[in-house]
Structure 1
């Protein structure tokens, strides 16, 4: 595949994202907290607050810089009555518990000074029971001035009693989330202006857009892209679509999707039969059953064929998120699965995203025999207990990210799959000045891989180990021998002669 660049933001090719769930990342003394906030180290619950805030993120930006992060995706930050803030009360007000609008402005200023971009989460399909216009309907019934902002079917509205009909449309029948009537021009204009406001007034760098497929109003997302891009031509737009979604990435709506299809393939290969089907059975992606290298390579080929190179270069490639179990949990506690999947992620074209805490192997679900529960992937970051950090994992992430930044070929170079047999996989990344081989051995025993490298490399050409190995290699007979220990991976760089 030959690298090209079109209407997608060029900076996304070079981005390494870090996803932050604000209530659980860091808590600052600058923001006064209500008395019933949970202690920081206590187990997360579906509705409890731990009191993380945006000032806390500012105070720990150096951790992100040290890790090699240059882009942050924040889950929703607008005023809300839930810890994840997908139930928006006010689209123009950052939640006071997070520090308010001043904290966001300070965060963006501090992040931009460190060359870190900020992407916000936009929830425009539905609001909340506390959203002013919907609350007005609850208070005034048929006399409300805002009836046509939502889908009202009968009276009275029943927003809390699950034993009676709600009488209004809500997202996935969750009556806490009344669905906007985006066919109403006034609603549509309101949401467009929200999208524009945070770009114009706060200089955000992108939007991650929640459940976009559920907004079926023709032209909605095309207009959103046109209007927001008019304000910031390199704005990054990511749609939360779990399936293969090439039809959404034709240049008229989004630049990328949350690439759960890549995550599923990488985890299925890296984890193999360790993957807990029960844990992910209630999610919208399928990192099961475990697959071999050939199965992984085939899925990668399908994804690249579906999206094309230009889109592949800026896809949002995650392995975990607030909506999915952590990789170590999916693999029943096996940390090697996280290391291998991360090696695949960081050497694949697109923008990799680390879910907060994965770099220290932050705990997730401890029971693997039942469906995932969201709080299990939302533990607070243990700043107070650095002894709990997996320092080896942190070093692994740092070294791998640093190599990605140092090697343009790993970000935007051509991509070729050279070897996919059994549990061993090798790909090549190449640009005009650099060639790298990435080898992964997902098996329980060491492997000596004989990899065909013609026409990319020539006989006699040496390769220097640059990650995960100290053994160098030389091309002979149009092949190269790569020794890879069990459950590990390595990267070699071709030496030009």
Structure 2
């Protein structure tokens, strides 16, 4: 090894990870003495190039250690690599080909740079959200709370008479475009009636898919931002829901769709169904400037070409006033009615200027409200429309939907990536995200936009190999479902013990299967839940909610071998990663993805001064450490939570499924 730098090793980069503006970061590079170095240069880039000659800090017969300080004086991303000049040639030490940080590569020409995220030193995300477990509800498919199960009439809609039917995939006869207009009747009253269920499940926040008046069943085609859709209830029912949920320790998060509206809306009114002068009807409409017409009125910009979803100009003054600035603006009024935050749809298509104002307006009403963005990649360096985004620098979002986490878990469990790959990928996020956002990430396994997690883990045939009809009817065979359930338990174990905020997509805890939209939006199977899965979820949420160290404790991931992934969560000196006073404790989480191999794992915990641990998933069995070393046997598809503290069953005992 002729040169070495590891951005995730505090010797080579200190402090670790993202830093507040004004911080100086110590950066070191080891170079083999055989290279006969003339000088080593730290090459930095933000708005321009800066080259810093590194100081020779230490020498021995094999390696020279060079160091320099990187000044992080402005918000944004700071990039660096190393130039090593010898008397014979010039080398470049750069980030690895996957751009994951950590160990780099020595090259003959420059390559990928390392990233330092520089954020606002006052950046703060809500503490309650870091400690929450979120439950995502697609309202039409959750529960009908009407005593007679009546579904309000809607023109051109299809109504299911049987709650347990499969959602329809119906295309318009003329356009061939899928029309999401079949309804099952779930509503907000149904959510109110199931709040006790959610509390028993360990939930402390609900994230709703859109609930404002709209024509479709998914409501991403907003018709009126100021009204709850009549099929779901009304504004008074929403306020009642927020009030009752609050008394039960459950907060409500709304889905904000501000990149586009529906063509069938007060604002566009393409079909004349509203008592308003919409932008489609007249250039004199108060909403005309909101939209981007190409050839008025029939040709206009729309989201991904769907003419039912006309794009808005988010920075149009009257639109900004309506959504953000007015005293009764949409972002404020729903917080005042009881919501505790917003999830922003397709946030990569919303300008930074809009997001900054949106954050200020929401936080002015409730500084503890949460703002989550829909981002599918590493949000720290996300680029959209040729611009690096500023989501997590302290002026826009608190959190994002952590789809990278979902991908990591699936790839690891299904043998697509090794345990080492899992560790490297999660450390990359940890390194790139400010701690405030990393410990607030919405860690999901399922959502309304992806195939149900159980279907994925059962290795169902690729969607492309099946017709729509075959996808609608597909169920995992018994053998596939059994292994999927075992894998799901591993995935949930990881999710509930990971830094960040776990999010359960409704029905995943009951064993619902399904390919992507609309089949991942089946109804919750009340009365037909898979109780084995449900009991496991309850057990895991109880463990999560019981210990501070599983929420905001330190996080050390490791790979034991190709199959065994693990991590340690701990709090020492009654202080968590945010310097908040919390209860001490430690847990070692171990996962064996192998279907047929046992592994004997030994972990050195001498530095943690632990003498015994309890196996929380095996009746709190006591495990004594020998000379500070933990030894445990992992059977195929087994996960363990070995904790310094015991977790006790609820008073309801067996009925709740807490069988320790």
Distance 1:94 1:429 in 2: 42
Q: Would the aligned equivalents of 1:292 and 1:422 in 2 still touch at CA under 8 Å?
A: yes
- What secondary structure, in the 3-state scheme, does the structure 1 residue paired with 2:632 have? strand
Distance 1:450 1:420 in 2: 8
Kindly indicate whether structure 1 or structure 2 has the higher relative contact order, using CA contacts under 8 Å at least 6 residues apart.
Answer: 1
Distance 1:143 1:196 in 2: 28
Residue 323 of structure 1 and its aligned partner are, at CA, apart by 0.7
Q: Would the aligned equivalents of 2:605 and 2:630 in 1 still touch at CA under 8 Å?
A: no
Residue 138 of structure 1 and its aligned partner are, at CA, apart by 6.2
The structure that is helix-richer by fraction is: 1
Match of 1:263 in 2: 406
Task: Work out which of the two has the higher radius of gyration on C-alpha atoms and give 1 or 2.
Answer: 2
Distance 2:593 2:141 in 1: 32
Normalising to structure 2: TM-score of the pair? 0.66
- What secondary structure, in the 3-state scheme, does the structure 1 residue paired with 2:321 have? helix
Residue 183 of structure 1 and its aligned partner are, at CA, apart by 2.5
Residue 5 of structure 1 and its aligned partner are, at CA, apart by 9.9
Q: Which moved more, 1:439-448 or 1:125-134?
A: 439-448
Match of 1:389 in 2: 529
Q: Which moved more, 1:239-248 or 1:77-86?
A: 239-248
Q: Deviations over 1:440-466 (max 9, x none)?
A: 11101343333333444347x122211
Q: Would the aligned equivalents of 1:2 and 1:414 in 2 still touch at CA under 8 Å?
A: no
Q: Would the aligned equivalents of 2:403 and 2:443 in 1 still touch at CA under 8 Å?
A: yes
Match of 1:37 in 2: 159
- What secondary structure, in the 3-state scheme, does the structure 2 residue paired with 1:134 have? coil
Match of 2:272 in 1: none
**2:308 is aligned with 1:173:** no
Q: Would the aligned equivalents of 2:151 and 2:184 in 1 still touch at CA under 8 Å?
A: no
Q: 1:293-312 counterparts in 2 under 5 A?
A: 293-312=419-438
- Equivalent of 1:154 in 273, 295, 301: 295
Q: Would the aligned equivalents of 2:359 and 2:395 in 1 still touch at CA under 8 Å?
A: yes
Match of 2:125 in 1: 8
Distance 2:414 2:185 in 1: 34
Alpha-carbon RMSD across the aligned residues, in angstroms, is: 2.2
Match of 1:327 in 2: 453
Distance 2:422 2:255 in 1: 30
Distance 1:168 1:318 in 2: 35
Residue 146 of structure 1 and its aligned partner are, at CA, apart by 3.0
The change in CA–CA distance for 1:356 and 1:16 in structure 2 (over 3 A counts) is same
Superposition misfits of 4+ residues, deviation over 6 angstroms: 1-5
Distance 2:217 2:410 in 1: 28
Distance 2:556 2:607 in 1: 10
Q: Which moved more, 1:86-95 or 1:431-440?
A: 431-440
Normalising to structure 1: TM-score of the pair? 0.87
- What secondary structure, in the 3-state scheme, does the structure 1 residue paired with 2:494 have? helix
Q: 1:80-159 counterparts in 2 under 5 A?
A: 80-135=214-269, 136-137=277-278, 140-157=281-298
The change in CA–CA distance for 1:99 and 1:260 in structure 2 (over 3 A counts) is same
Q: 1:167-246 counterparts in 2 under 5 A?
A: 167-192=299-324, 193-200=329-336, 202-216=337-351, 218-246=352-380
Match of 1:284 in 2: none
**2:148 is aligned with 1:25:** no
- Equivalent of 1:250 in 393, 396, 399: 393
Distance 2:278 2:187 in 1: 31
The change in CA–CA distance for 1:455 and 1:477 in structure 2 (over 3 A counts) is closer
The structure that is strand-richer by fraction is: 2
